[in-house]
Structure 1
Amino acid sequence: MDASDIAEWIRISSRSAGKRGRRSILRFWNPDDYARFLHALQPNPSGADGALPKGVRKLGLIQAVSCRAGSRELPRSLAGKAYWEDDIRVKVSALPKGAIVTDTGIPWGVKHIQAPQAWSRTTGYRVKVGVIDTGVDFGHPDLRHSLERGINLLQRMALPQDDNGHGTHIAGTIAAANELQGMIGVAPRSTIYPIKAFDHNGSAYVSDIILGIEWCVRNQIDVVNMSFGMKTRSKSLLNAVGTAYRAGILIVASSGNDGRIGEIDYPARYAQTIAVGATNQRSRIASFTNRSGLVDVYAPGDRIVSAWLRGKHREMSGTSMATSHVTGAIALLLALKPGLTPNQIKSLIQSSAKPLRNSKALRTAGELNVARLLKAAEQL
């Protein structure tokens, strides 16, 4: 492989694509080929900064780069050594926003999964929860005791401040801790590390998400909430999810809100995640939920009240909201049993779930229940 020729091809391809060219991910199979390529790509390889050409981003976790591509034709010297795939746009998973509310306390979903009954034993203390989303409202009174700085992948020097609301809502369900004046989440003493990968429209590239997962691996996060989905399979995202799983980090992902039967979104469809569908207050699968045998557990996701921008609270529905309940439950579990592997956690979540009401399919996953989850963990 002639790394310098390939590096020059990347530079030319990126320039010809301009700002409007679609983004792609170029991933190398061999670490040595990747290292040679990066070395050749740097304008001053001997320099300390290791800067790459403008618009080219290193995805070290999966031995890849992301860039705008003018040409989809790989040079011959890359045959069998690397592959292109589209750097797909992804959206956060939520239905249209509900009303701003003033009556908070302990939301119905937190009560429904029996989290309060566990708080005398575990509150998620010191469990590190990564939330790859739109950021959080750092000024929200319900979250001020629950946040670490995290990272803003869109503006590296800025706080991961939420300019959409979705990430704040997710963080509130997981770890809000303002019992007297606001709301309380599933694991009120867990710590949220916000990873802002999504913009104000709730949109991100797969490469942003991979960078978020890489940050979580590097910072030894315990569990990661990914309340978003896409219809297209990405080998690069699968590789990142698998790498995190092998590093001991479990990712919890949303099944999607299209009401489809027999098919769920990626990354929830990957075996190395916990795929979450939504239920309503009657413990029935919400009509909007994508469902299939690949869903691992269902959780409250209909008309969920949680934190919102500017210190407010809003009601929202979606598998995003269900996913945050499961992430919070895992934080409770890990505070009690810190040595559990992702495989053990996934197995406990599945086996301890409460059978759903009026479920016609024999193999339908059950509904999250914290009391049952912790009891099952005691048997290990």
Structure 2
Amino acid sequence: MWKLVRSFLLMMITFCLITYQLVHVYETNAQVHPTNVTDCLELPFPFVIKNHAYITHTGRTLGEGEITKVTELDHTEEAERWNISSVGAKKAWLEGFTGKGVNIAVIDTGISNHPDLKIAGGVSTVDYTSEWSDDNGHGTHIAGVIGAKNDGHGVVGVAPGANLYSVKALNQNGEGQLEDVLRAIRWSIENNMDIINLSIGTGFESTLLEEAINEAYAEGILIVAASGNESVPDSVVYPAKFENVIGVSAVDGRLNLTPFSSYGQEVEFTAPGFSIVSTFIDGAYGIANGTSQAAAHVTGMLALLKEKYPDMTNEELREMLVQHSQDIGDAGRDAYFGHGFISYDALDQDAPAEVGNLVVTGNSPTSISIRWENPEDTDFEKVDIYLNDSFVISIPRDASESSFTFENLEADTEYTVSVYTIDAMGNQSKGKTIVERTGEDSVEEAFPDLDDTVSGQDNSDESDKDCVMLDSSAGLAQQYQLRSGISSGVFDIEGSKERVVTDMKQVGNENDLTKMTSSDETELTEANNILVRFYQSGTRFVKSMVGWLLD
């Protein structure tokens, strides 16, 4: 009798497992969730098992569910793209840490060959192909964020020296079966992976999946997963929801939570997940949004820390990442950003000093020119320049000149110019701002009531003559005096030695209108050409004169 009962139980278990593997109905709102053999036996007979473990990638892309292919990259240097710059990866590279020797399993749709990727190996756990190449594009995009090569071309990943392994567990539609993901985790354990990236998600809580995760974690593997793209409270998906998984939400370039990001108490860190450019299938590039991409940044950061601290356990590296994050939400861990935004050296959160001596050096009806002095901070990297709160250009520390000219402006229009300093960690100063109005678009007229001065002749004592006089009595700081009957206006004197007028004041009688002091300490010599620009009531007048140095 016992033999018959045992045979019947064995037959039921076998039938249950076969049915579980072969019947796949992809639904996201499951009512029955069998997670192991015992669950199968508790279902009423006859029964049909539906695999509601709808596992799909969590990339929220710019197209309708697709990564948008980029036909041609812009001219941004690969390390200057906002996502790579903001997490401070470049500083780790300068210290010699690139993730070298760290094995990363990208459990996804596979990874395609690409000029910017070096794939160390891989496996396919899906049933329709033994090839681990990507037939969807998501896995290749994620791989590029983690570890695209730093070769000066295309894009670069957070950890360009890491060993990327393509573990294909999702199909060409970005969908997968639970058993394929379980086999992928098993392969990762058996092949000595250091980190598993799971940019996938499901609303289905599976005991089998959690047990596989726990086993990998017990073997010292770090597991990183996307929080999901549901954008509602307490919407973190599995496996990010499991205790031994690092759940990651997504932020944009201003470190605001993206409108699609899932959040909840399981979120441990946040990372770039908006407008991310990375590798794509067919040797191309793609741009996408998603917590999938955010998780990949955390995986890359952990690879950098793993190389830097090779003797740390996964638990210790997880704690170390807290020290390499910037708290951007409520103090301490919160449901939106977890411990904060990952940054290689978040301990440096001090912005560099502001630029010095920000001045306008030129003005016309269609242009404004500015100049400044860079701060002396050792980690100062660049200035970002904005016009009316719109980004215009970044100028690096090693640029030949600390100056810039805004062109194609509107005449007689007020513009606000802001200059921010940025350091190697992405810390940004509060900025300095100046407001300048362009000149009216009027025809240049002769400078009013000025006679031509005679080269080499001192006309300063001739009351019927207007002149420019150089006075050596002020020492190296040259002084200019303009004798004219005009009673108001602003004078700007330029010459081969003249740069900035730093002082203006009324001198003498009303016919001796303005004395101006130059900051240029180089003495002028005879016959220096001096260009006098006079603005009165928005009209621009020009007078070219010859000046000389008096004894």
TM-score, structure 2 normalization:
0.54
1:64-75 pair list within 5 angstroms: 72-73=43-44
What's the C-alpha RMSD, in Å, of the aligned pairs? 3.0
1:102 pairs with 2:102: no
1:291 deviates by 1.0
Distance 1:26 1:231, change over 3 A: closer
Higher radius of gyration, 1 or 2: 2
Aligned to 2:197: 225
- 2:36 aligned to which of 27, 32, 47: 27
- 1:133 aligned to which of 103, 108, 116: 108
**Cα distance in 2 for residues equivalent to 1:213 and 1:232:** 17
Aligned length: 324
Aligned to 2:54: 89
Distance 1:218 1:284, change over 3 A: same
1:7 deviates by 3.4
1:246 pairs with 2:218: yes
Aligned to 1:346: 318
Aligned to 2:178: 206
Residue type of the partner of 1:112? S
1:162 deviates by 0.1
**Cα distance in 2 for residues equivalent to 1:18 and 1:174:** 32
1:180 deviates by 2.7
Partner SS state of residue 312, structure 2: coil
**Cα distance in 2 for residues equivalent to 1:85 and 1:374:** 51
1:149-164 pair list within 5 angstroms: 149-155=121-127, 158-164=130-136
Aligned to 2:209: 237
Aligned to 1:325: 297
1:373 deviates by 7.8
1:337 deviates by 1.1
The answer on whether the counterparts of 1:349 and 1:373 sit within 8 Å (CA) in structure 2 is: no
1:6 deviates by 3.2
**Cα distance in 2 for residues equivalent to 1:251 and 1:3:** 40
Residue type of the partner of 2:36? R
1:215 pairs with 2:190: no
1:284 deviates by 1.3
**Cα distance in 1 for residues equivalent to 2:25 and 2:231:** 29
Distance 1:215 1:373, change over 3 A: farther
Aligned to 1:47: none
**Cα distance in 2 for residues equivalent to 1:213 and 1:18:** 17
Distance 1:245 1:305, change over 3 A: same
Aligned to 2:12: 9
Of structures 1 and 2, the one with the larger relative CO (CA 8 A, separation 6+) is 1
**Cα distance in 2 for residues equivalent to 1:93 and 1:202:** 9
Aligned to 1:310: 282
The answer for unaligned runs of 5 or more in structure 2 is: 27-32, 62-66, 350-551
- 1:147 aligned to which of 119, 128, 135: 119
The answer on whether the counterparts of 2:12 and 2:41 sit within 8 Å (CA) in structure 1 is: no
Tell me the percent identity.
31
- 2:97 aligned to which of 122, 126, 145: 122
Distance 1:156 1:373, change over 3 A: farther
**Which whole-Å deviations, capped at 9, do the CAs of 1:318-359 have from their partners, x for residues lacking one?**
000000000001111111111222211222223431021xx3
Aligned to 1:171: 143
The answer on whether the counterparts of 1:25 and 1:207 sit within 8 Å (CA) in structure 2 is: no
- 1:111 aligned to which of 50, 66, 85: 85
Distance 1:238 1:21, change over 3 A: closer
**Cα distance in 2 for residues equivalent to 1:322 and 1:21:** 29
Distance 1:158 1:374, change over 3 A: farther
Distance 1:71 1:322, change over 3 A: same
